[in-house]
Amino acid sequence: MSPVTPPVRIDVDLSSDTVTRPTADMRRFMCEAEVGDEQKLEDPTVNLLNEMVAELLGKEAAVFLPSGTMCNEIALRVHARPGEEVIAHHTAHPINFETGGPGALAGVNMRAIDGARGQFDAAAVEAAVRPPSRYAPRTRLVWVEQTSNLGGGSVWPLERLEAVAAVAKRHGLATHMDGARLMNAVVASGVSARDYAARFDSAWIDFTKGLGAPVGAALAGSRAFIDEAWRCKQQMGGAMRQAGIIAAGGVYALRHHVKRLAEDHANARRLAEGLAGLPGVRLDPRTIDTNIVFFELTGSLTASAAVERLLVRGVRMGALGARTIRAVTHLDVDAHAIERALAVARDVFTG
């Protein structure tokens, strides 16, 4: 995810699903959106989007926010007090990509736990819950990421989520689902967003990942939770005015860009199958659940050198470690672009 100087021309951008640009139809829809003062709850398009997300996730209410990062940071502040502890996988977004926000904004202690592919099980949560002690932080919240980004877009099975949430409830802990790519999990598994989110006190979806909108995310929970989230939003400067113009991108995306995520998943699988056959590449295509493809380099080529060589040939991927590369499919790469990327990768990896 380190920024690379782009060449004159990138033919296939697999660096992230955030690179999508709004389609002509989405732009038209945004252009024509009805708007009002969002922070007075007078923007009809934002209100509609919040209702759609609350309904989708089976929660009482939702609040539109500028980013998924703000959803996470606000959720931390509402669920936990300074000094309290949050159980999360060590790959979780707030631990790695939110500039220390959990410490800086919520004052919480993140307890990073382990498990394959960005997931943990109920036993790991049980083991991480602090017994009452004057010395230890108080455990307050259990955090999951559906799908897991650094876990390679892995989909948490519903039963595992339910078991994890059951342990949390038994200990009186709150639960949060980072659903930046929840709709990818829904399309890949056929389980509804409502069912995935059912055992979690709060959950959110991002409009700027696979859904392809330019701005925004929405956080959902109980009415009381969202009332508190609004106070944080106002305080952090996230309350907006005629935000319907951007929220319309989310409305359009929920109506038109969900089912098509299946294409991104098929493209990711095709990419993985092609890459897996190349020399110096370690990748098991069976581990590709959704739109994220991680692979390891086993030869002398480093990830940053490989990414550089791909880039000068017009294909952008991300180096996520000395030998780890990430490629993400999205609505701006079609099957043809995947074949193009594979042809370039073949060149690079066969020397």
Residue 26 vs 281, nearer CB to ligand PLP = 26
Residue 93 vs 269, nearer CB to ligand PLP = 93
Q: How far apart are CA 320 and CA 317, in angstroms?
A: 10
The answer to whether residue 201 forms part of the interface with ligand PLP (CB under 6 A) is no
Among the listed residues 59, 77, 79, 93, the single contact to ligand PLP using CB under 6 A:
93
Residue holding tokens 């009482």? 60
DSSP state of 217: E
Among the listed residues 145, 201, 264, 289, the single contact to ligand PLP using CB under 6 A:
145
Cβ(320)–Cβ(326) below 8 Å: yes
Among the listed residues 180, 203, 333, 345, the single contact to ligand PLP using CB under 6 A:
180
Q: How many CA atoms lie within 13 A of 189 on its CB side?
A: 21
The answer to whether residue 206 forms part of the interface with ligand PLP (CB under 6 A) is yes
Q: How far apart are CA 43 and CA 47, in angstroms?
A: 6
Among the listed residues 15, 50, 69, 154, the single contact to ligand PLP using CB under 6 A:
69
Q: How far apart are CA 278 and CA 261, in angstroms?
A: 26
Rg of the chain's alpha carbons, rounded to an integer?
Answer: 20
Span near ligand PLP by CB under 6 A; candidates 63-71, 235-243, 301-309, 326-334: 63-71
Secondary-structure percent of the chain, ordered helix, strand, coil, rounded to 5? 45, 15, 40
Q: How far apart are CA 172 and CA 297, in angstroms?
A: 44
Residue 145 vs 201, nearer CB to ligand PLP = 145
Q: By rule CB under 6 A, what count of residues binds ligand PLP?
A: 12
DSSP state of 103: I
The answer to whether residue 184 forms part of the interface with ligand PLP (CB under 6 A) is no
Minimum CB separation of residue 150 from ligand PLP in Å reads 8
DSSP state of 335: H
Among the listed residues 15, 149, 189, 202, the single contact to ligand PLP using CB under 6 A:
149
The answer to whether residue 74 forms part of the interface with ligand PLP (CB under 6 A) is no
Minimum CB separation of residue 75 from ligand PLP in Å reads 11
The answer to whether residue 178 forms part of the interface with ligand PLP (CB under 6 A) is yes
Going by their DSSP bridges, the two strands 12-13 and 139-145 should be labelled as: unpaired
Residue 68 vs 250, nearer CB to ligand PLP = 68
Residue 288 vs 344, nearer CB to ligand PLP = 288
Alpha helices for 119-178 (secondary structure H): 122-128, 158-170
Q: At what angle do helices 44-57 and 244-256 cross, to 10 degrees?
A: 40
What are the residues binding ligand PLP (CB under 6 A)? 67-69, 72, 93, 145, 149, 178, 180, 206, 208, 217
